[in-house]
């Protein structure tokens, strides 16, 4: 005997648009990093696989692991002396991919898959990409303006970046 | 306002990446860390969402029949600054089941924009009221969220028509007043009961003239007196009784209340006094009475009283059947018989019926069958069958009522078996 009044409960799965966007952005990030060095691309691919798994399993923890793996891909790029441009692009797209995936999981918990969430997802993805793109452009612009690796300016830029980072972390 | 901690790991990751970048003299990694710093800076600078919403809810039909599907439309208008991430969950009343489209929505609203979403509920007996819409608003990067409830009214009142085509023979416990229940008392009536010897003063019309002509002795025909009964309808509405053969089927309580409503209508039309009670932690008692005002009161009680609600009571509420039984007996008039509606899924209604019957309140049990056609259900059905057999052995009348048949059919079938 079962209790009656079963609600048409929404399934707690991330909306398909978010899944598609996250995996697409992640694939692009992997492509950028692979253009840097093959090792970075390979690690990034593992990260995308984890991201996909987290979305299909609905697990926020797995999604965080995917984010960590994407950061690992950037570390791998640094260790294998990848050129800066693809690494910056890969970082922007990687953070955006993780953000969209995590947002999708949040939507899954709150409203479920059957709900109309298109506008919400697109706005979030656009904001995320805009923030990352702007940050990447400013950083890369600064790097180019510094003339590509003069020791003194690079150090100043590095320190500046560190200060910004710390200020942001405190906020 | 709570922090979602979505970006918690990003700062640490950025520091690690920047550190590795410095270690390997790789500008790319340091720049990647700067990208993360950009996200963190925007997160820190983002304004906290303060949703200011106007919500309007439209219920397509505010007085539907039970089982009707009713469309509910919710329009949300942003009266404050832009909301980047808005999740809406409508507070559907407990007794209503959403059958189409989740009662939820996610949106992003500019100032002055509106979002509309709609869903369908299946109307169930009772007075249902919407009170609020749950809102979760997040900032552009989702670093902080604010959860509130926006007040928005809405009402759906579903009153079933208890049309009285159903009848169930009552037992012979009656009041001294004239009515329709045949009794074992000889006197004036319609149906032959017995013949006794003539006493002075017997009405001439009741003298058995045939016998007088044959034997020369005067004898008087006794007819079955028909009297009115006092009936208390008790609906088993404990959490255990909210069972149905399938998730979409009507619960035993729902069928019980429906049957009680129909029988009450018929009994009141015949001049019987009818009361109602819920065997439930949400105690409900309506003393037996008769008349038009009482008919309306009884219907209102069955439809809207929380004791008969279509959703189970809080399982944490204490229900001590012995105390309930004692209080019920104190309230029950001496000449009242009891019609108990229960799926009989445990022993409590069995004990209740047996004790009450032993005390002289004639008890009839109407038992809607909630067992599904599955192996487990068949086992539960066997156990239930044993309980009902025990009731019958104790002299309680039992009418079994399967989901497929109307109560009138079940009542007829049972009545053929019952001897008067």
Annotate A89-150 with DSSP letters as a single string.
HHHHHHHHHHHHHHHHHHHHHHT-SSS--HHHHHHHHHHHHHHHHHHHHHHHHHHHHTTTT-
A58: in domain: yes
**Distance from the A108 Cα atom to the nearest Cα atom in chain B, whole angstroms:** 10
Q: Which residue of A has its CA nearest to B122?
A: A5
User: Given an 8 Å threshold on Cβ–Cβ distance, is B18 in contact with A161?
Assistant: yes
A79: in domain: yes
- Mean pLDDT for the stretch of residues A68-96: 92
Predicted pLDDT of residue B139: 86
A1: in domain: no
A11: in domain: no
Q: How many domains does chain A have?
A: 1
Quick one: pLDDT band at residue B205, thresholds 50, 70, 90?
A: confident
User: Given an 8 Å threshold on Cβ–Cβ distance, is A75 in contact with B29?
Assistant: yes
| pLDDT tens, residue by residue, B5-57 | 888 888 888 888 888 888 888 888 888 888 888 888 888 777 788 889 999 99
Predicted pLDDT of residue A167: 61
Alpha carbon distance B235, B308 (integer Å): 8
Q: Which residue of A has its CA nearest to B248?
A: A4
ipTM above 0.90, yes or no: no
| pLDDT tens, residue by residue, B112-133 | 999 999 999 988 888 888 988 9
User: Given an 8 Å threshold on Cβ–Cβ distance, is B249 in contact with A4?
Assistant: yes
A20: in domain: yes
A7: in domain: no
Instruction: State the CB neighbour count (10 A cutoff) for residue A52.
Output: 17
Q: Which residue of B has its CA nearest to A64?
A: B9
User: Given an 8 Å threshold on Cβ–Cβ distance, is A6 in contact with B247?
Assistant: yes
Quick one: pLDDT band at residue A8, thresholds 50, 70, 90?
A: low
CB B367 within 8 A of CB B168: no
Looking at the partner chain, which of A77, A86, A116 has a beta carbon nearest the beta carbon of B117? A116
Whether pLDDT at A115 is above 80:
yes
Kindly report the pTM of this predicted structure.
Answer: 0.75
Q: Which residue of A has its CA nearest to B103?
A: A115
The residue with greater pLDDT, B27 or B75, is B75
Domain that holds residue A146: 16-170
b/e code B119-132 from CB counts within 10 Å (16+ = b) = bbbbbbbbbbebeb
A5: in domain: no
A108: in domain: yes
Q: Chain A interface, mutation test: which of B14, B31, B379, most A Cβ atoms within 10 Å? A: B31
Alpha carbon distance B221, B216 (integer Å): 15
For residue B56, how many C-alpha atoms fall within 13 Å in the half-sphere facing its CB? 8
User: Given an 8 Å threshold on Cβ–Cβ distance, is A165 in contact with B28?
Assistant: no
Enumerate the H helices of B138-278 as residue ranges. Answer: 209-215, 252-269
Mean pLDDT computed over every residue of chain A: 84
User: Given an 8 Å threshold on Cβ–Cβ distance, is A95 in contact with B36?
Assistant: yes
Alpha carbon distance A149, A143 (integer Å): 8
Predicted pLDDT of residue B164: 65
User: Given an 8 Å threshold on Cβ–Cβ distance, is A3 in contact with B242?
Assistant: yes
CB B52 within 8 A of CB B79: yes
Quick one: pLDDT band at residue A158, thresholds 50, 70, 90?
A: low
Whether pLDDT at B211 is above 80:
yes
Whether pLDDT at A20 is above 90:
yes
Predicted pLDDT of residue A149: 53
């Amino acid at each position: 005997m079962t209790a009656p009044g079963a609600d048409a409960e929404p399934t707690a799965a991330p909306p398909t648009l978010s899944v598609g966007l996250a995996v697409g952005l992640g694939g692009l990030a992997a492509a950028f990093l692979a253009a840097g060095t093959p090792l970075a691309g390979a690690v990034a691919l593992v990260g995308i696989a984890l991201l996909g798994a987290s979305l299909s399993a609905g697990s926020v923890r797995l999604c965080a692991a995917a984010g960590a793996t994407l950061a690992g891909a950037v570390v791998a790029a640094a260790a294998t002396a990848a050129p800066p441009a693809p690494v910056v692009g890969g970082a922007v797209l990687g953070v955006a991919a993780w953000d969209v995936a995590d947002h999708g999981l949040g939507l899954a918990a709150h409203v479920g898959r059957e709900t109309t969430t298109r506008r919400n997802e697109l706005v979030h993805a656009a904001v995320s990409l805009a923030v990352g793109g702007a940050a990447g452009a400013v950083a890369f612009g600064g790097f180019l303006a510094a003339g590509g690796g003069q020791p003194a300016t690079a150090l100043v830029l590095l320190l500046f970046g560190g200060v910004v980072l710390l200020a942001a972390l405190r906020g | 306002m709570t922090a979602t901690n979505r970006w918690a790991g990003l700062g640490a990751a950025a520091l690690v990446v920047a550190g590795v970048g410095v270690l390997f003299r790789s500008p790319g990694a340091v720049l990647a860390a700067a990208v993360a710093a950009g996200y963190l800076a925007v997160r820190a600078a983002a304004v906290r969402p303060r949703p200011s919403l106007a919500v309007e809810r439209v219920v397509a039909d505010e007085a539907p029949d039970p089982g009707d599907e009713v469309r509910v439309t919710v329009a949300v208008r942003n009266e404050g600054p832009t909301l980047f991430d808005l999740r809406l969950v409508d507070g559907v009343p407990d007794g209503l089941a959403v059958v189409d489209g989740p009662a939820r929505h996610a949106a992003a609203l500019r100032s002055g924009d509106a979002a509309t979403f709609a869903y369908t509920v299946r109307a169930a007996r009772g007075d249902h009221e919407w009170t609020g819409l749950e809102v979760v608003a997040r900032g552009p990067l989702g670093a902080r969220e604010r959860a509130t409830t926006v007040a928005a009214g809405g009402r759906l009142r579903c009153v079933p028509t208890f049309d009285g085509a159903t009848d169930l023979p009552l037992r012979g416990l009656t009041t001294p007043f004239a009515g329709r229940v045949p009794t074992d008392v000889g006197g004036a009536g319609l149906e032959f009961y017995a013949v006794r010897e003539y006493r002075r003063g017997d009405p001439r019309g009741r003298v058995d003239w045939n016998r007088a002509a044959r034997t020369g002795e005067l004898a008087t025909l006794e007819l079955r007196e028909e009297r009115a009964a006092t009936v208390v309808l008790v609906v088993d509405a404990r959490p255990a009784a909210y069972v149905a053969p399938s998730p979409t089927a009507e619960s035993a309580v729902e069928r019980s209340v429906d049957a009680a409503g129909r029988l009450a209508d018929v009994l009141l039309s015949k001049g019987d006094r009818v009361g109602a009670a819920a065997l439930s932690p949400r105690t409900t008692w309506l003393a037996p009475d008769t008349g038009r005002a009482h008919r309306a009161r009884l219907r209102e009680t069955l439809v809207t009283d929380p004791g008969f609600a279509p959703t189970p009571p809080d399982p944490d509420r204490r229900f001590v059947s012995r105390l309930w039984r004692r209080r019920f007996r104190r309230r029950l008039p001496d000449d009242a018989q009891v019609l108990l509606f229960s799926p009989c899924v445990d022993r409590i209604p069995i004990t209740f019926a047996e004790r009450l019957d032993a005390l002289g309140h004639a008890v009839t049990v109407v038992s809607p069958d909630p067992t599904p056609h599955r192996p487990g259900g068949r086992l539960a059905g066997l156990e239930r069958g044993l309980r009902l057999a025990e009731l019958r052995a104790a002299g309680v009348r039992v009418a079994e009522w399967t989901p497929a048949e109307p109560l009138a059919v079940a009542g007829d079938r049972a009545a053929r078996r019952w001897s008067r």
